[in-house]
Structure 1
């Protein structure tokens, strides 16, 4: 699997990246939910009810007043009133009913003091923060894959070099035994060759175990179902990358950390605006109409609400939110300084790794020449088997160290691009590299 395929596979399968994407989607849906905040609101109300009402009426005052009333009437009527039965002391009136009612209500804010705009701005800022977190997670996972992918490549190369050296040493060990049997070499030299062989076996076994572990880590990072064997080689670009200022400018423009700080500042600003909006009056129109046939009840009007006194100190809240805005500004300034320093550190590390790789060419050439001379010397009898084994082990060591330098270059490049917010450009740098460590 080449690096590009591994990166695509990881991006499609990573649970961590999927979780950060869901956070972005959640924030986006919240922003959509408050898009129409401050607009018309219509509601429907319905109720079914039953009631029973009792009213006690005191009739004593009326009973006491009847004789006086009768005396003022004509004799015929007065006599009739006098013959009426006495009224009870009280009378209870009862009313009961079961009914249903329904109404439609509408509220339309005309002026909310800016609280609606502050809520939308806050949702926008939270969406930006989620997007910045998602970009940071994506960059971190890309750098992690670089470490695991090319770490597995380096470990496999070291194992192959150790195994190749072991194969040669096994041949020399067999030859040493024949030379001992022929009396050409001393027994101590034979024992030294055997000891070197055992050390080579131990080192080759450890190198292969390390390579297997690195491959397992790569497979899990890439979320592959089958064991991943990296095919993209380590690489180095013989020419320096762009100047330091290029990467600093890119970091200040694209780094997810700075975008997150900017989003935090925007949130603090919108919270401050919301605190200020709550201190202003609110004006809204309202209406209600009963849903029924015939002459329905309705009401409509305009209302103003202005809080003159509150148990919460609004001035203190405004001062608190303003302090958060200033805190975000200070945090942003510090973050810009820290990121610029990090970019410079990574840029210098990359250039140092590049120079180190090419500086090791002389050592590689020297170890190869020493190995050639030891092989020729063994044939001519001027070198011992142990000398040749040492030359072979040293040659494997030098080649491994140079591959390690290429590995350091690749990791430094990934770190530089991540700190500059340019992790997506790694594949382009890899394609442009003119030195491949096959």
Structure 2
């Protein structure tokens, strides 16, 4: 059996250069750089951060004056002015009395009458503003005191900017965990394929031996049929493993944000010693993006309370305006004006009171959620840490089982070739060895993915690659 195994491994090694030639090598560090550059989720997070930055800049503009340019043309129903036509009759009577009083010489009356007739016959309407007019002007408004609303809006915008940055960091950490899961998932799948292929090759050799032993009468037909049954089962499991490999390869390409067939150069690993649990819990309390986002949401809710409280105060603005161009606008109208405006709501149907109360309740709710989130993250860190320790301890037991399974297969293979053992015992030993090898690889995969999730919860996903380079990090590969 040792010869068969060596032949199978040799065949795998001989075919490896041809496969590698078609695959581009990809280390975990290169995969991380590619993911954090090309993954659409990272690009979306970057857009969200830039949007929050622009919102913060927009909030700064609330402090600045507002300058506007306006123009208008109007055609009124009539001219604007003073109508003195009702005074014509009294004025005419008074003139007649003066002329008939004898105070004016009769010879002068015709001349005076000639002068007064055009005046008395004219329209006594004094036009102040023509009915057709237009103007172009501008106005400036500068907030002086808005009850603290502008300050609250600026603080809220800065909080939202930080929240967007923390959300981007959370996306980054989640992608690191996803990449580790899929990168090592593909490595595991390929090594499981190698294990299944070795089982198929070994059972095929057992089948050939069983057929030879059956022809010589050393074993019964049922023994050979049992090996054929196990051969079909091994081929099915190999086919399933290849399908799983293809699926995980597609998932890895999706995480990387690019397609391609890649040769993975970073092996799964096991770390000898981890920092104490308190180290990761303290990291999580300081650096976990989710906790930071919840804290920022609490602060944002507090700014919402301040913004609603500002509605109870008066609002004061400075304002001014000027006309740059006038069309038939009366000279009596001033060309510029400046002033201060004050507005204050006396009663609005208790709208302000209820909104202020709702904002306070929201702040209290977020405060409770912040406390709960802190406890949840601490529990999650402890759970992941303990699972890591469990898999590290389990690896010692698995490696002891591996040595026993290899020796058992050697013994049963020798007994079978000498006609002293059954094919079922040999096949069971072969499958047991494959199961132990697969369990060893699976334990290493679980350790690495749990480590990535632990670092994600601690807000230290960027440190994952450094764990693989530690002096006590041991590679776990197919043997």
TM-score, normalised by the number of residues in structure 1 = 0.89
CA distance in 2, matches of 1:9, 1:333: 36
- Checking the alignment, whether the CA contact within 8 Å between 1:30 and 1:123 is kept in structure 2 is yes
CA distance in 2, matches of 1:437, 1:24: 40
- Checking the alignment, whether the CA contact within 8 Å between 2:193 and 2:242 is kept in structure 1 is yes
Instruction: Name the structure 2 match of 1:30.
Output: 55
CA distance in 2, matches of 1:341, 1:88: 102
Q: Does 1:21 align with 2:59?
A: no
Q: 1:311 to 1:193 in 2, by over 3 A?
A: closer
SS in 1 for 2:63: coil
SS in 2 for 1:185: coil
Instruction: Name the structure 2 match of 1:109.
Output: 143
CA distance in 2, matches of 1:59, 1:127: 70
Q: 1:191 to 1:290 in 2, by over 3 A?
A: closer
* Deviations 1:78-115 (CA, angstroms, capped at 9, x unpaired): 77759969978987788747665333433333333322
1:45-194 matched pairs, under 5 angstroms: 45-48=70-73, 53-54=78-79, 57=83, 59=85, 62-63=88-89, 66-67=92-93, 69-73=95-99, 74-75=101-102, 76=106, 96=130, 100-194=134-228
Once the two structures are TM-superposed, the CA of residue 312 in structure 1 deviates from its matched residue by 4.6
CA distance in 2, matches of 1:96, 1:313: 46
Larger mean CA deviation between 179-188 and 157-166 belongs to 179-188
Instruction: Name the structure 2 match of 1:423.
Output: 461
Instruction: Name the structure 2 match of 1:269.
Output: 302
Instruction: Name the structure 1 match of 2:411.
Output: 373
SS in 2 for 1:34: helix
Instruction: Name the structure 2 match of 1:205.
Output: 239
Once the two structures are TM-superposed, the CA of residue 212 in structure 1 deviates from its matched residue by 2.1
Once the two structures are TM-superposed, the CA of residue 20 in structure 1 deviates from its matched residue by 1.9
Once the two structures are TM-superposed, the CA of residue 382 in structure 1 deviates from its matched residue by 2.5
SS in 2 for 1:360: helix
Q: 1:396 to 1:288 in 2, by over 3 A?
A: same
Where in structure 2 are there 5+ consecutive unaligned residues?
A: 1-25
CA distance in 1, matches of 2:430, 2:323: 99
Once the two structures are TM-superposed, the CA of residue 155 in structure 1 deviates from its matched residue by 1.6
Once the two structures are TM-superposed, the CA of residue 225 in structure 1 deviates from its matched residue by 2.0
Once the two structures are TM-superposed, the CA of residue 271 in structure 1 deviates from its matched residue by 1.6
Q: Does 1:220 align with 2:254?
A: yes
Q: Does 1:297 align with 2:335?
A: yes
CA distance in 1, matches of 2:223, 2:132: 115
SS in 2 for 1:393: helix
Instruction: Name the structure 2 match of 1:436.
Output: 475
Once the two structures are TM-superposed, the CA of residue 261 in structure 1 deviates from its matched residue by 0.9
Q: 1:169 to 1:67 in 2, by over 3 A?
A: closer
Q: 1:23 to 1:300 in 2, by over 3 A?
A: same
Picking from 405, 410, 413, the partner of 2:443 is 405
CA distance in 2, matches of 1:85, 1:237: 116
SS in 1 for 2:320: strand
- Checking the alignment, whether the CA contact within 8 Å between 1:70 and 1:78 is kept in structure 2 is no
CA distance in 1, matches of 2:95, 2:132: 41
* Deviations 1:229-258 (CA, angstroms, capped at 9, x unpaired): 43322211122x111111111111111111
Q: What RMSD over aligned residues (CA atoms) do the two structures have, in Å?
A: 3.1
SS in 1 for 2:431: helix
SS in 2 for 1:301: strand
Q: 1:85 to 1:393 in 2, by over 3 A?
A: closer
Once the two structures are TM-superposed, the CA of residue 135 in structure 1 deviates from its matched residue by 1.8
Instruction: Name the structure 1 match of 2:397.
Output: 359
SS in 2 for 1:35: helix
Once the two structures are TM-superposed, the CA of residue 352 in structure 1 deviates from its matched residue by 0.8
- Checking the alignment, whether the CA contact within 8 Å between 1:179 and 1:185 is kept in structure 2 is yes
CA distance in 1, matches of 2:249, 2:58: 46
Q: Does 1:42 align with 2:67?
A: yes
Q: 1:261 to 1:178 in 2, by over 3 A?
A: same
Once the two structures are TM-superposed, the CA of residue 70 in structure 1 deviates from its matched residue by 0.9
Picking from 31, 37, 40, the partner of 1:6 is 31
Larger mean CA deviation between 358-367 and 175-184 belongs to 175-184
CA distance in 2, matches of 1:118, 1:250: 31
CA distance in 1, matches of 2:321, 2:243: 79
Q: Does 1:287 align with 2:320?
A: yes
CA distance in 1, matches of 2:165, 2:337: 47
* Deviations 1:197-230 (CA, angstroms, capped at 9, x unpaired): 2222222222222222222222222222212343
SS in 2 for 1:30: helix
CA distance in 1, matches of 2:165, 2:190: 37
Instruction: Name the structure 1 match of 2:20.
Output: none
CA distance in 2, matches of 1:36, 1:216: 48
CA distance in 2, matches of 1:310, 1:414: 55
Larger mean CA deviation between 41-50 and 112-121 belongs to 41-50
Instruction: Name the structure 2 match of 1:334.
Output: 372
